[in-house]
Amino acid sequence: MATQFDAAQAGGSRPARFASSLSVMVREFLRKPSLVGSAFPASRHLVDALLDPVDWSSARLVVEYGPGCGPLTRAILERLPRDGRLVAIDVSRHFTRHLRDTIADPRLIAVTACAGSAETVLARHGLGPADAIVTGIPFSTMPRRSAARILDVSARVLRDDGQLLAYQMRSTVAPMLAERFSTLDTAMAWRNIPPCRLYWARGPVD
């Protein structure tokens, strides 16, 4: 493993952390279902299926949209090199506070903001361009103009060889990714509640 930080263990025992995360996730889903997408955190099967195909050894900056209670956040930190940074952006201050309280890793920057402001967030922290963007935000439930803006911003903040990884319950995002990236691969993660589509979009198009 490329790092000595134990993101998986930070913030208490695994059962206690899971119970706390699930409580936060359900509460936020009931509060804003269109923004959270699901009351269930992403399963480890989904997380591994999405992240394992990627070579993280050279990644120095990763951006995560909609980290929620952090299952992908922890898994990215497990894979990220010591000198890497992970900027996790979520519209819910409850989620970003939960990340700060449960993940004791100096490589993590948790920011309360919308994904469409990623360019501004990175500039404010003197960071960029990004090697990868990872997201589970529900593009199918947001206005198309908002979804397009987020993907346009994403293409701008990524390196020329950068990639966007996404998991979605519906295929709404697929044609939008195809318009903005030179390569798009897809798969299904069946061992998740609910099953999700996985996307790997590479090479942002100007």
The pLDDT value given to residue 41: 82
Cβ atoms of 25 and 70 within 8 Å: the answer is no
pLDDT tens figures, 107-125:
999 999 999 999 999 999 9
Specify the pTM.
Answer: 0.83
Helix axes 93-102, 14-31, angle to 10 degrees: 170
pLDDT of residue 4 exceeding 50: no
| Amino acid of residue 111 | V
- How many residues does this entry show for the chain? 206
Secondary structure (3-state) at 63: strand
Q: Sort residue 173 into left (φ over 0), alpha (ψ -120 to 50) or beta.
A: alpha
Query: What is the percent of the chain with per-residue pLDDT over 90, rounded to a whole number?
Result: 79
Cβ atoms of 92 and 65 within 8 Å: the answer is no
pLDDT tens figures, 163-203:
999 999 999 999 999 999 999 999 999 999 899 999 999 99
Give the residue among 96, 85, 92 at the shortest CA–CA distance from 122: 85
pLDDT tens figures, 119-143:
999 999 999 999 999 999 999 999 9
pLDDT tens figures, 13-39:
555 454 455 455 445 554 555 454 554
Helix, strand, coil tally for the chain in percent (to 5): 40, 25, 35
Beta strand pairing call for 85-90 and 130-135: unpaired
The pLDDT value given to residue 22: 46
Distance between CA atoms of residues 37 and 43, nearest Å:
14
Higher-scoring residue by pLDDT: 4, 200: 200
Beta strand pairing call for 158-168 and 181-189: unpaired
Domains of the chain: 14-204 (3.40.50.150)
Question: In DSSP terms, which residues pair with 168 in a beta bridge?
Answer: 197
Question: In DSSP terms, which residues pair with 62 in a beta bridge?
Answer: 86, 132
